[in-house]
Amino acid sequence: MTGFQFPETLREHRPLLLACEAIGWLHMTGKAKSDFLRGHGGQKSDYEYEKWDEIENPPFPWNDLLNWAQTKFPLNGNVWPDTFTEFIRKHTKRDKGLLGLLQAGHAMASGIEKQSFPPRTVEYLGQDVTHMWLSSAFGHPVRNLLDDPPELLTETGWKRLLEQVRNLLTELEKLGSNANDLDGWWRWREGAVGIEPEGWLRKAFTSTLAETRLPNNDVTLFDQSYVAAALFKSATAGAILEGGSFPWMIKDKNGNEKANDRLKQQTRWRILTIGIGADHYEARAVKIGDWTGASLALDEFFTRVCKLVEVDLAFGSLLYRDGEVCAFSFPGERFGHDQQGYQGGNLQIADWEGWLTKQIDGYAREAKFETPPYCKISEKPSRSLVGMTAEIRKARETMAVPLHRDWQIPGQDSSDGHVCPVCLVRRSRLRADKQRPCDPCNARRTHRLDGWLKGEFRSDSIWISEVADANDRVALITMNLDIEPWLDGSRLDALRTQSIAKWAAQNTTAKKPLPEDHDSLVSFVKTALGTGNQASQARSLIQKKIAPGLKDENDNDVPWDKFYSLMVEDRTDSPSWDRIDENGRARWLTHQFFRKLASPGRIYRFQRQAEDFFKDLLVKFREIAAADLNRWRVRRLVIKPDRNGSTGSWEDQQTYNGRYGNAPISLLYRKEDNDFLTICNLARLLEPEDGKDYLSGASLDLKTDDSMEAKQLKVKSTEDAPEGLGVYHPVIPLELSPVHFRVLLPLEAASTCVDQAVHAWSDQFARVWDRLPLRVGVVAFPRMTPFQAVIEAARNMEADLAVSEHKTWRVTGCETREGVTALSIKSLDHQQELLQTIPTRLPDGREDVFYPYFAVEDKQVRFPLDFQHPDGRVFRHAKDLRSGDGVFVYPSIIETLFMDSAKKRFEPLRRRQLTEWLRMRDLWRLIGRYAPSQTALRGAWSEIIERRETWQGPDGTWLEGGKTAWLDFARAVFHERLGVRGACLETLVEAAGNGLLDWSLEWHMSVLKTSVWR
């Protein structure tokens, strides 16, 4: 075969590349032992985590388990370290060969994260044994690891871990000798680090820390190890591709060959982004099955892509995934690759892009996708991942045009039949049935059904008829955390790795005093950027107390512009050195010295955490949705037909709908067993005390969705549905990714679910509530509403919720007591004051100077903890806010819509602050306590609304004095008809005035049809 040979080269090295990845996962295994945490927590011991294998008795056979890799791939140029244990012992050092590449990956994952301050200067940030906390990426304390250890940190946990590691490596060696067993490789890898279901190594390492020092206890051992491994794997793949030109060896000054020990600093990476636009399929779905079927097909497509990248060619690892985009690590060239005299080979990026595009086009064609996939390798190599979000955004923007490049739609050329109602491009062979989709669209619909019948969806439902509540209503809840600006690093601007004041207090000496606040540090850095004696003194102090990287490994000064390009340009979207003056440079350097950095491990953690937030909610939602007095709510039955009394023939896997008494009934016919499975809310048919034989002998008139003709079914008997299908949760997850959570629920459960989400968000994201907003949309609809209309409404809502600009809010009060700052704050366009509490103390009693900062309107740095972004924005600690301060907030909002007709989706939506939702719910509880009856309440409400119209113009604006008069009237009505007095009366009047009462009564009485007295 001629042509592009690179893929074959990688395939030949598959065992080596995956062995490198495994080494990367495990190179810090010693940190997964409680001794490591104790040692860092001030309890002196002789435990050295870099020797964890050696101190086992007998020693862990690390070398023996990996030696095969070197025998199989001897590699030229003295590439292997003397023994495999060096990968464990020396991962933080600087060496040659493959070890150098691991060190490069490790430094990127952990070095950037730790900021590489001089060790002595940051000792004060250590945690003690009494408080060894694992924190969330947003500063929420998750677990005191030594007080309340996860299984991993117990003696048994450690033994078990070693056993699993041994198995992993044994299996690796086996696969190494049978390198073409792709499925075997895939299972091996997914079993360890897979996301769904969660691999054992992912689970174990996620429960403990890689770094114990504040505030780096936000990244888990897994985030760091996994990302380091991904980078090591990609770097090794790059070296293999460059082949003989790769500079394993370099020439020294005298022209003699020597081992290249600068790989750690030189290695860079690119990002491979692959996508396929999900919007197109979502917008065209006629039935829910079209969409869930299409997203299943997209999922399978992405799984094939992952297999290709992670296992088949093994050049990278998945770093990000949502419903329509995947991003992987990819090899990159070292510095100077675009200049003459570059030492190294050519990675042929354009050819790679072409080759990969062809591969995935093949997958897309086999899946009969109507849109072409997207495939792009990032333009520039980098030493960080901050460019990943821009790559993902670019993919989304491109894919917004479904046919963004030439694409022959598979099956488009068939000429007979009517146009398929789903894809609108292919034709369906059946002339008679205009509703019938074309073959590929139909296959997507039924494929999902097959999976469900085999139990692949576990206990979740796929039937709207099962989800519908007692009033036959359903809710689509959609949520988003606005996580993208965290992934590109921009929202990290507000997070600190140290406060300048605390750092100075810890490190200042009488002889060499340090600047104690932001402005003086900026001028100090500016001095250091200059020339002369003063400059070199300042520079030397900065190097000793903040940035050891100002000297290179040979103790030579690194020029400022070079340092700037590494420290600032490659880790932010800052202007380049040449384009700004001395002031700008000093500001950027100062900012970058003390802000939390968007390290690859941390970015990985952000997106995992967003997804985990939704995953935890889904678990709660399942519980809430399944709670019912009537156990039939979550049961399914199998109905055996009586041949006498049943008419017609039944179609396999067809759904049949009818009514029994007052309740709807839906059944799925299974030809193989000649029976029907109930796929509806049985609690509507059966009372709690009814037995399963209740339906025996019943006669049902049934129709399919698309047919007018009814068939009769006589029930012979009923049985419990078989294992796996007998009990279910009335929940249909539509999408769950770091950027999206969409789920269908019984409408009656939706309010409690939203309550839970709001509480969970306020609890876990309290320190960043102003810049990590929760956006919630609820579309309520009767079961029979066309699904296309529901999806369109949800998409409109999501677009409306995606507010990208911040709003200015005004602080009206701020008080800090017992480590909590209570902030009263008001949005400028909204009357209501909002009370936000922000924890400002860490569990061990220290002040939290890392997370709770607000971007303020003020342009001046005024308090010791204040700092200023180079673009001028000032950030202020929560406790330093004062009444009258303007702060910039990305608001959390909620929108609700009741689609009692499909036309409702065109009506304007009303954005409300998330906290209003809770107030609206509280109001309903209050009314329930005081209003005498539902009838009285309804009467009072309609009287008030009726009167309002007379005081309002046709467009809803008040006539002069109208509002006051109307509120007086409302007060009188509440007083007389509901008998409420005092504070409750005033609350109702106020709620009538600001629209909350309308929302509360409408939502609870009209939409949910609940009664306060039920």
Site for Zn ion in 179-238 (CB under 5 A): none
Q: Would you mind telling me the total number of residues written for the chain in this entry?
A: 1014
Nearest approach, Cβ of 423 to Zn ion (angstroms)?
Answer: 3
Dihedral, 600, 604, 605, 608 alpha carbons, nearest 10: 180
Residue among 298 and 522 whose Cβ is closer to Zn ion: 298
Identify any residues that bridge with 824 across adjacent strands, giving them in sequence order.
813, 835
Scan residues 436-455 and list those touching Zn ion (CB under 5 A): 437-438, 441
Q: Residue 422 CB, nearest distance to Zn ion (Å)?
A: 4
User: Which residues, in sequence order, are CB contacts of 224 under 8 Å at separation 6+?
Assistant: 28, 109, 110, 113, 210, 211, 601
- Residue 80 CB, nearest approach to Zn ion (Å): 54
CB closer to Zn ion, 153 vs 438 = 438
Nearer Cβ to Zn ion (307/444): 444
The two tokens of residue 948 are 């309002």
Q: For the chain, first and last CA: distance in Å?
A: 75
Nearer to Zn ion, 423 or 467 (CB): 423
CB of 291 to Zn ion, least distance (A): 13
Collapsing DSSP states into helix, strand and coil, what is residue 335? coil
Where b means 16+ CB within 10 Å and e means fewer, 281-320 reads bbebbbbbbbbbbbbbbbeebbebbbbbbbbbbbbbbbbb
Distance CA 373, CA 580 (A): 40
> Minimal distance in Å, beta carbon 440 to Zn ion?
6
Q: Least distance in Å: CB of 708 to Zn ion?
A: 23
691-750 residues in contact with Zn ion (CB under 5 A) are: none
Least Å distance between CB 444 and Zn ion?
9
Q: In angstroms, what is the minimal distance from the CB of 421 to Zn ion?
A: 8
**Residue appearing with tokens 């202007």:** 575
Q: Which is nearer to Zn ion, 417 or 726 (CB)?
A: 417
> Least Å distance between CB 429 and Zn ion?
11
CB 671 within 8 A of CB 684: no
Tokens of 488: 């590109």
Q: What is the size of the binding site for Zn ion (CB under 5 A)?
A: 7
- Applying the rule CB under 5 A, the residues between 36 and 65 that interact with Zn ion are none
For residue 40, CA distances in Å to 130, 189, 844 come to 11, 32, 15
Binding piece for Zn ion, criterion CB under 5 A, among 200-208, 435-443, 648-656, 927-935: 435-443
Is the CB of residue 904 less than 8 Å from the CB of residue 781?
Answer: no
User: Helices H, strands E: what count in the chain?
Assistant: 32, 29
Distance of closest approach, residue 427 Cβ to Zn ion, in angstroms:
8
304 φ, ψ to 5°? -65, -40
* Angstrom distance (rounded) from CA 635 to CA 719: 11
Binding mask 391-430 for Zn ion (x = CB under 5 A): -----------------------------x-xx--x----
For residue 635, what are the β-bridge partners?
A: 727
CB 201 → Zn ion: shortest distance, Å? 42
421 upstream amide cis, omega within 30 of 0: no
Record the tokens describing residue 986, joined without a space. 């005033």
Q: Closer to Zn ion by CB, 428 or 678: give it.
A: 428
Q: Toward Zn ion, which CB reaches closer, 294 or 825?
A: 294
CB half-sphere exposure, 775, CA atoms < 13 A: 20
- Sign of the Cα torsion 436, 442, 445, 447 reads positive
Which amino acid, residue 553?
A: E
Q: At what angle do helices 155-177 and 62-72 cross, to 10 degrees?
A: 20
How many degrees, rounded to 5, is the angle at CA 675 between CA 669 and CA 681?
A: 65
Residue at token pair 């590449």: 101
Task: Give min distance, CB of 280 to Zn ion, in A.
Answer: 12
Q: Which is nearer to Zn ion, 420 or 825 (CB)?
A: 420
Q: Quick one: 425 or 909, whose CB is closer to Zn ion?
A: 425
Nearest distance, CB of residue 420 and Zn ion, angstroms: 3
- For Zn ion, the closer of residues 291 and 614 by Cβ is 291
Residues 6+ apart with CB under 8 A from 605: 137, 218, 219, 220, 223
Binding mask 841-870 for Zn ion (x = CB under 5 A): ------------------------------
In this structure, what is the dihedral angle of CA atoms 544, 548, 552, 557, given to the nearest 10 degrees?
A: -40
Q: Which is nearer to Zn ion, 301 or 632 (CB)?
A: 301
**Pick 426 or 526: Cβ nearer Zn ion:** 426
Q: Which of 492, 220, 270 is nearest to 388 (CA)?
A: 270
The interface with Zn ion within residues 512-541 (CB under 5 A) comprises: none
Q: Which is nearer to Zn ion, 105 or 437 (CB)?
A: 437
Q: Is 435 or 653 the residue whose CB approaches Zn ion more closely?
A: 435
Nearest distance from residue 371's CB to Zn ion, in Å?
13
Residues with Cβ < 8 Å from 322, sequence gap 6 or more? 737, 738, 739, 740
Pick the closer one to Zn ion by CB: 426 or 740.
426
Contact set for Zn ion, span 896-925 (CB under 5 A): none
Q: Which is nearer to Zn ion, 157 or 437 (CB)?
A: 437
The single residue listed with the structure tokens 């992987």 is: 328
User: Following DSSP, what letter does each residue of 804-836 receive, concatenated?
Assistant: -S-EEEEEEEEEEETTEEEEEEEETT---EEEE
Q: Identify which of residues 425 and 967 has a Cβ nearer to Zn ion in the complex.
A: 425
Site membership for Zn ion, residue 838 (CB under 5 A) = no
Q: Which residues contact 364 (CB under 8 A, 6 or more apart)?
A: 276, 301, 371, 372, 373
Contact region for Zn ion (CB under 5 A) — 95-103, 431-439, 464-472, 710-718?
431-439
Cβ proximity to Zn ion: between 445 and 585 the closer is 445
Instruction: Give me the phi and psi of 313, to 5 degrees please.
Output: -90, -25
Q: How far is the CB of 135 from Zn ion (least distance, A)?
A: 49
- Least distance (Å) between residue 133 CB and Zn ion: 53
Torsion of CA 391, 394, 396, 399, to 10 degrees: -130
Report DSSP state, residue 558. P
CB of 424 to Zn ion, least distance (A): 7
Nearest-approach distance from CB 742 to Zn ion, in angstroms: 23
Q: Write out the residues near Zn ion by the rule CB under 5 A.
A: 420, 422-423, 426, 437-438, 441
